[in-house]
Chains A and B, each alone.
Chain A
Amino acid sequence: MPEKIELPQGTLDLLILRTLLPGAQHGWAISERVQQVSSEVLSIQQGSLYPALHRLERRGWIKAKWGTSDNNRRAKYYELTRTGEKQLERETEAWRKLTVAVAQVLEGA
């Protein structure tokens, strides 16, 4: 199993929003998806996932609805709202700029 990395401050929201871009997901699927796509490098602590989801919902970037999961159980699904999409764009852009800048500094020094 590859070594896991602590999520930098503020990236959790970005990851959640990005994961929800293709469509609505429930909390467990979000954490699984992040882990999978990051080749098991990133893992979201469940203890911080749900507070983050509730916070994003309060800000109106995602909204929740109850649906039925693939194993026929009631589950809470989250999907991006329009403001959420815009926020994702903004945060993605900011993130790109940040990583490029950090990389430049690291290489230049």
Chain B
Amino acid sequence: MLDDLRYRTRALFRRKAVETELDEELRFHFDRQVEKYMRSGMTEEEAKRRARLAFGGHEQAKEDCREARGTAFIELTLQDTKYAFRQLRASPTFALVMILTLALSIGANSAIFSVINGVLLSRLPYPQPDHLVRIFLSSHEYPKFPLNPFDFLDFRARNHSFESIAAFTRGDVQLSGDGEPVRLNGFGITSGYFRVLGLQPELGREFDFQSEIPGNGLQVILSDRVWRTRFGAAPNIVGRKITMNMQPFTVIGVMPAGTQHPGNEYHAVAYGESVDVWWPFSFAGNSNQRGSHFIEGIGRLKDSVSVERARAEMNGIMAQLAREHPNNDAGWTVLVVPLYTELLGASRQMLLVLLGSVGIVLLIACANAANLLMVRASARRREIAVRLAMGAPRSRMVRQLLTESLLISLTGGALGLALAFGGVQALVSLLPADFPRAHDIHVSAPVLGFTLLISLITGILFGLAPALQASRTDPKEGLQKGGRTSTAGRNQSRLRNALVIAEVSLASVLLIGAGLMLRTFLNLIHLDPGFREDHVLTASLSLPHIQYKTNEQTAQFYDRLASSLIALPGVESAGAGSDLPWTGYDENAGGFIIEGKKPPPHQEFHARYHMATPGYFSAMGIPLLEGRFFTEADKKDAPMALIINHAMAERYWPHEDVIGKRISFDDAPKKDSDWMTVVGVVGDVKDQPNSPGAEPAFWWSEFQAAESDMSIAIRTQSDPRQVADGLMDAVHRLDPALAVADVKLMDSVVDSSVSTPRFTFVLVGLFAALAILLAAIGAYGVIAYTVSQRTPEFGLRVALGAQRTDLLRMVLAHSAKLAVPGTIIGVLLALSLGRVVRTLIYGVSPADPVIFSAVVLLVLTVALIASYVPARRASHSDPMTTLRAE
């Protein structure tokens, strides 16, 4: 065994020496044989001739010796590779076109695969991530809804399906103390939250049940980043008191670096390491009032429990709760959604469509390469015929040609990988800011493996047919005709035409896809958002409860701030609202009752609820449809005023005059002050630009509701960035310790809300452009080749009186024969694939006639252009040249 290895190694690496030795050995044998014959009386001449005959093929013997050495495979490959290199160098343009188109296609595939690998294929960063599920409620009206805290407590106490369940809710905090006060991304979490995720604090411990009791909430767990950047990674941090929201919080733990938030579909702290602090959620209030829904459930299933079983059990518990609390808990079902699905469900379809698109590009590139190789193989018929005539077996020819195509595809793959490195960075920067797991995307080992694999498959795919075809060359015919005037075999030209038709049809599919994405993108950016995003600066503030204890103090702060902002030069209007449009809404919706109306059985009246100051609507550009905006007078002791949106008016008071109508949050309102009166109706703003419609929503007067976390909106005459400093000053004049967070333009909010459709459109568009370019090259190649083959025929036709336009028409007809069936197949394919993109498009049918006709026109035009040059060449065929050549 070892001998064998040593022998082969020497044979391989000292090949030259081994070959020389073999030559010498065979020479020695030959000489001895000649001597022997001469001794028996032959002349030297005769002896040599006999010896040669006796010896058989010298080369054959050497080949067999190599074979016997056991290195033939590698040696042949080396030899083939060298030969392939020489072949490619001999026709550099051909090699360049092939390698570049493959590099682009393989590179695009590797880049998209990097995204797929990072986002869809790698495991979520928690132990046994497939046991993790998210828990939501669902009703007729709200398909996916957060939990009520007291319902959550009952779920936790009664279930047997989960190892543990926990809940969380977004709540940012203001950290002060050393240096500038800052807003930190925070989450309120129940005890056992990290246990559910399977994570352990790096220092200290996580919250226990004690922390959930109201009054015990002044505890905090820090992220590794905050611990390092704000507290210098102090080892004794646990037990220390830090100032958050102007109150002393005790640090009880630090989470390790890489602790990732399990992701939110709404109310973005997107998935990732973006959470700074966790504080204990406390269950305050009356456990019989279960109308408000604002915490999100997460659970870890027991080993033996399936998602379905957990869902069934939770719905059993929900049914019990509905009997116990018929007012609030009837009409709900429980959703148990695997975390992976919740996180990636929405992105998955888009990524798979992208993968499909680049896959199509690669297929087209393969068809193209196969076509080019076949053209070249026809040009090389003579060479192949010679080698076959000299006794090379056909399998050797296939092998030789496959080595060439693999050399091309692997070079293309290597170059493509380099492109992918750059491409992935561009992709990540193009990705929407809240894209799940974007930080997990890079060119990793699996990506390298994938690239190698598709390069090999590509090489074999586009090399096999031409290689087999070339190896079938008849040596006699090939030598006689010399390749020049012979027309390609009927089979070959049929295959080549079929390949071009396939290319055209696939390119049409991608173009139609790109058209749909473009339409979607344009629809979204030209959509009337319901507000005016230009010239608006926004920021967010959070008033610490310890300082702003009373509603009056909070109301007064926002009132004064609005007045000083409106006084800034160039400011048209300014106000504060609890939410900004399109920044995500956590769907918390208050249940209420409407005076004089009864909800349908087991349903409640619901609407999005917000707070706003008088200037908010005009600053945001939300139009008033009826009644009035809030005024300074809508304050504490005045009757409670309510502004509703058009959707709410339509839903609850269709065909009625809504001004003056009343709702109440009290289950049994007694006095007038329990009621809120509608004073105005404003235009609709959807949750997201691609939401199907606006949800019912209402606003309380901030001066009456006194919400402490508000977003500021300032509308200016000129560049809104100029008032940023004025905003800071105004805030700090009122409260020097207050952090001003998220200062940004409303423009950029709108911009990022269409970043996903833009991303999809840009990529599919890019791939479609590549596809049509490749298909055009393919069509051009086939037609140009056919024309060059038929030049003598054309010359003859001209000699016999054919008009040049006849020739032009003949060639263009050939092109049409490829383009028309290609487009028809493409259109049919696109129609059948419509379902795949349905979730990715907006405001356009997957069978949009305008897009389909545009693509058909475009493809036919491109085919025409691709065939025009060869067609002109054909029409200029010179009869004299032809006749002379024949």
Contacts and interface: CB of A to CB of B under 8 A. Distances in A.
* Bound together: yes
Interface of A: 26-28, 31-32, 45-48, 50-52, 54-55, 57-60, 69, 71, 73-76
A46 B64 contact: no
B469 interface: no
Contact of B61 (A26, A32, A46, A74): A46
Contacts of B33: 28, 46
B32, B35, B61 pick with most chain A CB within 10 angstroms: B32
Contacts of B35: 71
Contacts of A55: 68
Most buried by A among B21, B28, B61, B68: B68
Which residue of A28, A32, A45, A69 has the most chain B CB atoms within 10 A of its CB atom? Answer: A28
A76 B25 contact: yes
Given A27-B29, A59-B4, A60-B4, A74 B24 contact: yes
Interface in B17-46: 21-22, 24-26, 28-29, 31-33, 35-36
B55 interface: yes
Nearest to A29: B32
Contact of B64 (A31, A50, A58, A75): A50
Contact of A54 (B31, B55, B57, B65): B65
Contact of A50 (B4, B26, B31): B26
Given A26-B28, A73-B28, A57 B64 contact: no
B29 A51 contact: no
A26 B68 CA distance: 18
A58 B24 contact: no
Given A46-B56, A47-B60, A54-B65, 11 more contacts: A27-B25, A27-B28, A28-B33, A46-B61, A47-B64, A50-B64, A51-B67, A55-B68, A60-B4, A73-B28, A73-B31
A28 B29 contact: yes
Contact of A28 (B8, B28, B68): B28
Contacts of B22: 50
Contacts of B60: 47
B809 interface: no
A46 B55 CA distance: 5
A57 B7 contact: yes
A46 B4 contact: no
A45 B3 contact: no
A75 B55 CA distance: 18
Contacts of A48: 64
A36 to B, nearest CB: 12
Nearest to A43: B54
Nearest to B60: A47
Given A27-B29, A60-B4, A47 B57 contact: yes
B65 A51 contact: yes
The 9 closest A-B pairs by CB, nearest first: A60-B3, A47-B56, A51-B64, A54-B68, A55-B68, A51-B68, A28-B32, A28-B29, A47-B61
Contacts of A54: 65, 68-69
B70 interface: yes
B56 A58 contact: no
A58 B8 contact: yes
Given A27-B25, A27-B29, A58-B8, A45 B56 contact: yes
Nearest to B11: A58
Nearest to A75: B28
B25 A50 contact: yes
A57 B73 CA distance: 19
Contacts of A52: 68
B69 A58 contact: yes
A24 to B, nearest CB: 14
7 contacts: A26-B29, A47-B57, A51-B61, A51-B64, A51-B65, A54-B68, A58-B4
Nearest to B67: A51
A55 B35 CA distance: 28
Nearest to A55: B68
Contacts of B25: 26-27, 50, 75-76
Contacts of A75: 25, 28
A75 B28 CA distance: 7
Contacts of A26: 25, 28-29
Nearest to A59: B4
B55 A76 contact: no
Contacts of B55: 46-47
Nearest to B28: A75
A90 to B, nearest CB: 18
Given A27-B25, A47-B60, A47-B61, A59 B69 contact: no
Contacts of B4: 58-60
A26 B31 CA distance: 13
A58 B28 contact: no
A61 to B, nearest CB: 9
B33 to A, nearest CB: 7
A58 B29 contact: no
Contacts of B36: 32
Contacts of A59: 3-4
Nearest to B1: A60
A74 B3 CA distance: 25
Nearest to B8: A58
A32 B61 CA distance: 18
B392 to A, nearest CB: 18
Nearest to B7: A58
A9 to B, nearest CB: 16
Nearest to B51: A46
Interface string B48-59: 000000111100
Nearest to B69: A54
Contacts of A69: 28
A55 B56 CA distance: 19
Contacts of A28: 28-29, 32-33
A60 B54 CA distance: 29
A36 B65 CA distance: 25
A46 B60 CA distance: 11
Contact of B68 (A58, A60, A73, A76): A58
Contacts of A73: 28, 31
Interface in B579-624: none
A50 B67 CA distance: 11
A103 B35 CA distance: 41
A50 B70 contact: no
Contacts of A47: 55-57, 60-61, 64
B36 to A, nearest CB: 8
A43 to B, nearest CB: 9
Contacts of B24: 74, 76
Interface string B304-346: 0000000000000000000000000000000000000000000
Contacts of A74: 24, 28
A76 B17 CA distance: 14
Interface in B265-295: none
Contacts of B31: 73
Contacts of B68: 51-52, 54-55, 58
Contacts of B8: 58
A71 B31 CA distance: 11
Nearest to B3: A60
Given A27-B29, A74-B24, A75-B28, A46 B69 contact: no
* Residue among B4, B22, B29, B61 facing the most chain A CB atoms (10 A cut-off): B29
Contacts of A46: 29, 33, 54-56, 61
A31 to B, nearest CB: 8
Nearest to A27: B29
B57 A76 contact: no
B481 to A, nearest CB: 35
Given A28-B29, A60-B3, A60-B4, A76 B21 contact: yes
A67 to B, nearest CB: 11
Nearest to A81: B3
A50 B62 CA distance: 8
Interface string B657-699: 0000000000000000000000000000000000000000000
B369 to A, nearest CB: 39
A48 B60 CA distance: 10
